[in-house]
Structure formats: C-alpha cells, structure tokens
Amino acid sequence: MNQSTRGAGDPIVDPAQATHRPQYHFLPPANWMNDPNGLIQWQGKYHLFYQYNPNGPFHGTIHWGHTVSYDLVHWTDLPIAMAPSPGGPDKDGCFSGCAVNNHGVATFMYTGVHPETQCLATSEDGLITWQKHPGNPVIAAPPPGLDTTGFRDPFVWQDGGIWYAAVGSGIKGVGGTVLLYQSADLVHWDYLNPICTGRLEETGSMWECPNFFPLGDKHVLLISPIPLRKTLFLIGAYDGRLFTPETQGIIDNGGCFYAPQTMLDDTGRRLMWGWLWERSSKAASCAAGWAGIMSLPRLLSILPDGTLGQQPVPELTALRGAHHHYSNLVVAPGAPAILPDPTGVCLEIVANFERGDALAFGIQVCRSPDGEEQTSIYFDGETGDLVVDTSRASTDATVAREVRRTPLPSDQTLKLRIFLDRSALEVFANDRVCLASRIYPTRADSRGLALFARGGAARLSSLDAWEMHSIWPVGERSALSVTQG
Ligand code: DQQ
C-alpha cells in the first residue's frame, strides 16, 4: 500500500541532527525573537521584521530584526533594522509596529519605551537602513483624560488619502481597547476615539498588537489581550470611526501563538504570521542560545459561518521532498497502527479521514516505537473538537505537556494538514482552524507515525506525507547556530 517515492537529491534527515531547532520555520540565527513587525511587500519581495534581542535568548534590549523572502518560504537574513537610540524615546526598546509605503517612502510606525510613545522611521535604500524621525515621538502620550493600561503597537492604514493608526491600549477598570488616530502625513496625529472596547472580565485589561483590516465585506480586528495569552479575532462592521463586532473567536488555541501581524500582498491576499513562543524553560533557551520562532504564513478568509478561516499559503508545497502515500485503510479501535513510512521530525502530512462509528480518531507524530513519547492529533467526536495532545510528547518534565482543543464544525469527514518541524507543530483542520504547538521529545527514536481510533472504527481515505526540505542552504547558518535546542 505504501507507494514511497524518494526523489534524487531529496534530503535524508540525519538523526544525529535531530534537535529542537526548526528547519523550515523562520527564526533568527541565534538569540531571542518575538512578535512579527513591519510586514510589507516591497518591490515584489516579502520583508519580515521582528522583535529581536541580539544580546541573548531572552526578552530585553529590543531591536527590530530583518529578513526577506521572494517566495514566502526561503528567507535571507538582513542586518538589524532598528536599535534603541540612547537618550531617545526608544532608549529602552523598539517595541512592535508596522510598515507602510508613504508615496514611495518605506516608513515604520512603532512604539518607543519608556514611557510608551509612538515613533517613526524611514528608509531610502530599499529597507536596509532606517533613519528615525527627528520629531520622535510623533504621539507622545495617550489621549488626555483616558486612564490607560498601555499604549503601544500601532497598526497603520490609508483610506481616502488619510492615514489611520490603531494603537493597542486599555482603559483601567473597563477593559482592553484600540485607540483610533488620523493624520494627513504620518507625522501629525489627531486622536479620534476608541474604535472598539472590550469588557475587562471577558477580554482582559490591555489589547496588544491590534491589526484592523477589511476582509470580504467585513472588517476584522485581531487583538492579543493581556492576560489571556492568546489572540482573538473579532469580525464585524466598521463605519469609519467605530467597529461593531458580530462574531469573535480564538485565532489559535494551541498555547504558543501570539501577537500576529497581517499584510496585504500584491495579489490581494491577507497573510498572517504569529510568534510561536517556547514552551520549554528559560534555562533550556539559554542552553540552546535561541528562543522563539515565527509561524508559517497563513492565508486568511471569512468563512461562510462568519468566522475567520486560516490556511497555510500554497507556496509551502515547494518544500515537499520524498513522498509517501497510503489509501483506504480501516483504523480499528485499540492499539495504534504504526505506519512503516515515513519516520521523521520534519514532515508535512495531509490525512483525510471518514469518521465511521469512531468516537475519536486521528494520528500520532513523533512517536517512539514503544509509545513512551507521542503527540496525538485527533478529532474528538464527543465534544466536536480538534485536539492536539502533547501530554506524552516528551519525557522532559520541564516542558509544557497538555491537551489543547478548538471547536471544529465537521460532518463525517476530517482533513488534517500537519506541519511538523522538530519542536514546531502546526495543525490545520478542514481548511478552517489551526492549532500550533511546541513539542520537545527527548528520544532520538521519537520519529514514528501511527493511526488510532477509539470507541469504533474510522477510515483513512488517504494519507500523503512528505519529508520536508530545510529552508537553509546546508551549512549556511552553522557558524551562528547552536547545537542543542
Ligand atoms: N511585544 C512587544 C510589545 C507588544 C508585545 C514587546 C506583544 O510591543 O505589546 O516586545 O508580545
């Protein structure tokens, strides 16, 4: 049944290289990374900036790192774009922000700390070097009269020749909010009003990293509320000043996806990246020399039920190497059925199931032959949830191990699209929801795949698995990378 086809030149994963450092998710060569920033397509190339600490694998001395891609898959490191300026409004860090094209001039709007103020920087050499605006900060304080819990992460767009900025904030005792400003020139800003405000007990006290954009015939607001440690989408109507949410949900309940930022690309696609934080200890990050990775780019849409749809961008298929295929298998309840191929820790898997009379069914990845380590991805028919269970992903008690779930409206079929990249696991289901996780198996033989069902039998209509290429040319980053993650 297994029609394995290894192409000439396809990589063979070397178990000796099997660390936790992802091979096809973006991360800097070393040190700390958090939020995506300043996403922009410039002269055809995708520029991705990110919160970066060049001084170690921990949050501090926040700079803007920079990488560029022509295909959304392969990334080339570029020099640090911005560093804190001693004595300047960003002396304690260049916090999150965005990039816009101001009549041909690439411009960042970002937050300087401390206190939190909004600043500008521009580039005239194709986004490589950045000059800070002499008038910084261009917004020196939150609106007078508002008792705010924070004031950061501007997201800027243009409408009818006017610039608008949405700044993440919160009103003490009330809840998180997004403050709306307008400007004719990006330098002089007038405060308008809170675009939308949440209830403290539901959506927290401070909304970080707002993104606000039209999608289909709706508007979408993405927020990362403190203290929720997860990111929400709100979809609704916008009248030019006020946003009225109609539906709301968690973008990714996997436990590590945060502070996403979106961009509109030249083909009109709304693309989103998020920060996938580590679920291991600070000591492990310090030993590894790096912490934090970027999610894969996701394509956003409004689904027929009015919620947010997420799919991996089609460009990622360029990473597919050796291919393995199975079809038409009965997945009986009881012991998991181990697949002979592929084994590995850098895989893409597309699996189509029919539920049959199973109560739960799915797939295990990074399974050791005896099952001591395993990560289970399945549909729970009793709750109607997609589940990623990392409670047995690792024998290391210092890493997060838990059951994460998200509602998955489903009829009798389940389509899983799984991107496994060493410690990064992103699971898309039925072309609509995603759960991202971080896993840290300890055993070199935790590389297997298995199918399982509970309470009845399911059917695997088809399974395609590809061994994934690394996005880094062999050896390119070895001098900068550290060995064990
Ligand atoms: N990260 C940045 C802030 C933002 C937070 C600081 C969200 O600007 O609010 O690194 O992760």
CATH code, domain carrying 435: 2.60.120.560
- Among candidate residues 68, 72, 29, the one with its CA nearest the CA of residue 52: 29
Q: Are residues 441 and 326 in the same domain?
A: yes
The three-point CA angle 332-335-338 to 5° equals: 90
Paired sense of beta strands 131-132 and 117-123, if any: antiparallel
In this structure, the residue with its CA closest to atom 6 of ligand 1 is 95
The residue to mutate among 31, 32, 35, having the most atoms of ligand 1 within 8 angstroms of its beta carbon, is 35
Residues annotated as catalytic (active site), given as ranges: 35
Q: Is residue 399 one of the residues assigned to a domain?
A: yes
Ligand 1 centroid from CA 452, angstroms: 40
In this structure, the residue with its CA closest to atom 7 of ligand 1 is 259
Whether 209 lines ligand 1, by a CB cut-off of 6 Å, is yes
Instruction: Give the pLDDT confidence score for residue 3 in this predicted structure.
Output: 33
Q: Are residues 234 and 296 in the same domain?
A: yes
Ligand 1 centroid from CA 224, angstroms: 9
Instruction: Give the pLDDT confidence score for residue 9 in this predicted structure.
Output: 33
Ligand 1 centroid from CA 111, angstroms: 9
Instruction: Give the pLDDT confidence score for residue 411 in this predicted structure.
Output: 74
Q: Are residues 459 and 435 in the same domain?
A: yes
Token pair 């002396």 in the structure block, residue: 91
Tell me how far apart the alpha carbons of residues 450 and 369 are, in angstroms, rounded to a whole number: 10
Tell me how far apart the alpha carbons of residues 436 and 296 are, in angstroms, rounded to a whole number: 10
Ligand 1 centroid from CA 96, angstroms: 6
Q: Is residue 422 one of the residues assigned to a domain?
A: yes
Residue 473's SS3 state is: coil
Q: Percentage of the chain with pLDDT > 90?
A: 92
Q: Is residue 474 one of the residues assigned to a domain?
A: no
Pull the structure tokens for residue 409.
Answer: 């409206």
Q: Are 156 and 98 in contact (CB under 8 A)?
A: yes
Q: Are residues 239 and 119 in the same domain?
A: yes
Q: Are 416 and 428 in contact (CB under 8 A)?
A: yes
Calculate mean pLDDT across residues 413-419.
Answer: 97
Ligand 1 centroid from CA 49, angstroms: 13
Pull the structure tokens for residue 260.
Answer: 């996403």
Q: Are residues 236 and 375 in the same domain?
A: no
Pull the structure tokens for residue 66.
Answer: 């920079």
Q: Are residues 270 and 126 in the same domain?
A: yes
Whether 295 lines ligand 1, by a CB cut-off of 6 Å, is no
Number of structural domains found in the chain: 2
Q: Are residues 370 and 261 in the same domain?
A: no
Instruction: Point out the domain boundary residue: 293, 312, 331.
Output: 312
Instruction: Point out the domain boundary residue: 249, 277, 312.
Output: 312
Q: Percentage of the chain with pLDDT > 70?
A: 94
Whether 116 lines ligand 1, by a CB cut-off of 6 Å, is no
Q: Is residue 17 one of the residues assigned to a domain?
A: yes
Q: Are residues 286 and 333 in the same domain?
A: no
Amino acid at 42: W
Tell me how far apart the alpha carbons of residues 244 and 249 are, in angstroms, rounded to a whole number: 15
Instruction: Give the pLDDT confidence score for residue 481 in this predicted structure.
Output: 37
Q: What is the pLDDT of residues 422-472, one digit of tens each?
A: 999 999 999 999 999 999 999 999 999 999 999 999 999 999 999 999 998
Calculate mean pLDDT across residues 36-64.
Answer: 97
Q: Are residues 243 and 214 in the same domain?
A: yes
Give Cα separations from 127 to 136, 273, 473 (angstroms): 19, 20, 24
Ligand 1 centroid from CA 157, angstroms: 20
Q: What is the pLDDT of residues 363-412, one digit of tens each?
A: 999 999 999 999 999 999 999 999 999 999 999 999 999 999 999 987 78
Q: Is residue 478 one of the residues assigned to a domain?
A: no
Q: Are residues 142 and 81 in the same domain?
A: yes
Instruction: Give the pLDDT confidence score for residue 6 in this predicted structure.
Output: 27
- 280 confidence band (pLDDT: 50, 70, 90): very high
pLDDT at 17 over 60: no
CATH code, domain carrying 20: 2.115.10.20
Whether 34 lines ligand 1, by a CB cut-off of 6 Å, is yes
Give Cα separations from 443 to 228, 284, 439 (angstroms): 33, 16, 12
Q: What is the pLDDT of residues 228-260, one digit of tens each?
A: 999 999 999 999 999 999 999 999 999 999 999
Contacting residues for 97 by C-beta, under 8 A, at least 6 apart: 37, 38, 108, 109, 110, 111, 118, 119, 153, 154, 155
Q: Is residue 477 one of the residues assigned to a domain?
A: no
In this structure, the residue with its CA closest to atom 9 of ligand 1 is 208
pLDDT at 98 over 80: yes
Tell me how far apart the alpha carbons of residues 67 and 27 are, in angstroms, rounded to a whole number: 9
Calculate mean pLDDT across residues 299-311.
Answer: 95
Q: Are 453 and 358 in contact (CB under 8 A)?
A: yes
Calculate mean pLDDT across residues 2-13.
Answer: 33
Query: 16-30, 267-281, 289-303, 342-356: which has the minimum mean pLDDT?
Result: 16-30
Whether 389 lines ligand 1, by a CB cut-off of 6 Å, is no
Q: Is residue 475 one of the residues assigned to a domain?
A: no
- Please confirm whether the linkage preceding 312 is cis (ω < 30° from 0): no
Q: How many CB atoms lie within 10 A of CB 237?
A: 12
The boundaries of the domain holding residue 59 are 3-312
Residue, of 331 and 5, whose pLDDT is higher: 331
Whether 153 lines ligand 1, by a CB cut-off of 6 Å, is yes
Instruction: Give the pLDDT confidence score for residue 2 in this predicted structure.
Output: 35
Instruction: Give the pLDDT confidence score for residue 19 in this predicted structure.
Output: 86
Tell me how far apart the alpha carbons of residues 111 and 107 are, in angstroms, rounded to a whole number: 13
Q: Residue 95 CA: which ligand 1 atom is closest?
A: 8
Q: Are residues 35 and 92 in the same domain?
A: yes
Calculate mean pLDDT across residues 118-126.
Answer: 97
Contacting residues for 370 by C-beta, under 8 A, at least 6 apart: none
Q: Are residues 331 and 287 in the same domain?
A: no
Instruction: Point out the domain boundary residue: 262, 295, 312.
Output: 312
Calculate mean pLDDT across residues 202-231.
Answer: 97
Tell me how far apart the alpha carbons of residues 152 and 148 are, in angstroms, rounded to a whole number: 11
Tell me how far apart the alpha carbons of residues 427 and 386 are, in angstroms, rounded to a whole number: 9
Whether 62 lines ligand 1, by a CB cut-off of 6 Å, is yes
Instruction: Give the pLDDT confidence score for residue 8 in this predicted structure.
Output: 31
- 327 confidence band (pLDDT: 50, 70, 90): very high
Whether 251 lines ligand 1, by a CB cut-off of 6 Å, is no
What is the overall mean pLDDT for the chain?
Answer: 93
Q: Is residue 483 one of the residues assigned to a domain?
A: no
pLDDT at 1 over 70: no
Instruction: Give the pLDDT confidence score for residue 15 in this predicted structure.
Output: 37
